[in-house]
Amino acid sequence: MAQYQSKQIANNETLVSSDGGTEVIAVVGDFTTVTGMVTGEIIEMVGLPAGYVPVDVIVAFDASAGAAFTTDCGVLSGNYGSTATRTMGNEGFAANSAGQGAAGLVRAVKPGLAQLAPADNDRGIGLKIVGTLTTLVVGTNIRMTLLARAARNGV
């Protein structure tokens, strides 16, 4: 089973940081679906810098006629950008319907993402294709925007 990365991660773009500031940062990742994607595959979309915690995640799916698939959104195991086999949770949302012939915008709906503890390592946030993959149209554009803040006093 393949594992994918957004254009930004594949190009080794540096993670943004507010260097201990209190401002919310936006981290963006783009991915275009490719031939052969199947249920269970993970797309690492963005990186969560060490010492940061998520505030929200917003995912925009292109309008793709005939596309019908569901995704989870969550934290990947291991370090950000790793090409090793990794697993993923569903702290942001679970089994969200994507596609269905119309563009869609999805935000985190589970408290697990906003309650994530800070870590000493950069982590990946991604999407996992779950459920029945009815139709995945090649060339569907997906953009994830992660809003995150520096952790203060351990939270």
- Percent of the chain's residues with pLDDT above 90: 47
Q: Using the 8-state DSSP alphabet, how is residue 10 labeled?
A: H
Give the model confidence (pLDDT) of 14-33 as tens digits.
877 666 567 899 999 999 98
- Please state the domain count of the chain: 1
Residue 18 belongs to some domain of the structure: no
Buried-exposed string 56-67: b where 16+ CB fall within 10 A, e elsewhere: ebbbebbebeeb
In a domain, 30, yes or no: no
Confidence of residue 138 (pLDDT cuts 50, 70, 90): confident
Q: Does 125 map to a domain?
A: yes
* pLDDT at site 129: 87
Whether 112 is covered by a domain: the verdict is: yes
Spatial separation of the C-alpha atoms in residues 134 and 66, rounded to whole Å: 9
Q: Is the pLDDT of residue 149 over 70?
A: yes
Output 43 or 16, whichever has higher pLDDT.
Answer: 43
Q: Closest by alpha carbon to 61, among 90, 23, 97? A: 97
**The whole model's pTM is what?**
0.84
Confidence of residue 111 (pLDDT cuts 50, 70, 90): very high
Which residues form the domain of 113? Answer: 3-9+49-150
| Residue 86: inside a domain | yes
Please indicate, yes or no, if residue 105 is contained in any of the structural domains. Answer: yes
